[in-house]
Each structure stands twice: as C-alpha cells, then as structure tokens.
Amino acid sequence: MPTASRSVTVDQPVDKVAAYLCDFTSTADWDPHTVSCRRLDDGPLGVGARFENVQRLAGHESTLVYEVTEHQPGRRIVLEAATTPSGPGTR
C-alpha cells in the first residue's frame, strides 16, 4: 500500500499546528491539488471519522474518502483513502 508522509517546520505551538492539520478539512488550505474537503460525520475527531476530499490533478477531478485509522491528539493522525465509484453523475 502506498504511503505519504510530510514534514514542515513552523514557528507555532505544536498543539495549535496539530489541531489544524488533524482537522483534515484544512487540506484545501495547504494542498494545491485539493479542490474541497468536508467531514462526512459528526462528533469528536477520532478513529472512524471520515472526510470526502475532491482533488484536481492534470485537469481531472477525483474524489477520495479518507477515514481516520489512528489518532493521538496533538501528536499523530493516520488516514486511509479509497476512491469513490465513478460514472454518470459523479465527479
């Protein structure tokens, strides 16, 4: 299974940065390929939380559904993605 990892250095408190990044809807702010990202469920962020992420790459849009598989608040979040079915009426 492919994996991706990112590292950045910022001049902000780690808890503030972790909260921002763990709210995966923020990907539209920092990922140039993300068109939109929305939470698909309610409640506190944790294992099982799901996000719909629409991406545009090379002129084509695709939709991925990400699910949180591990969450250590303020430290780590792991998400797994699957593509949504394509066809008439889908992106």
Q: What is the pTM of this model?
A: 0.77
**pLDDT given at position 19:** 86
What domains, with CATH codes, occur in the chain?
14-83 (3.30.530.20)
DSSP E strand boundaries for 4-74: 34-39, 50-57, 60-72
Across the chain, which has 91 residues, the per-10-residue mean pLDDT values are: 75 87 90 95 94 94 95 88 60 43
**pLDDT given at position 90:** 43
**pLDDT given at position 85:** 58
**pLDDT given at position 10:** 85
Structural contact between residues 79 and 51, judged by C-beta atoms closer than 8 angstroms: yes
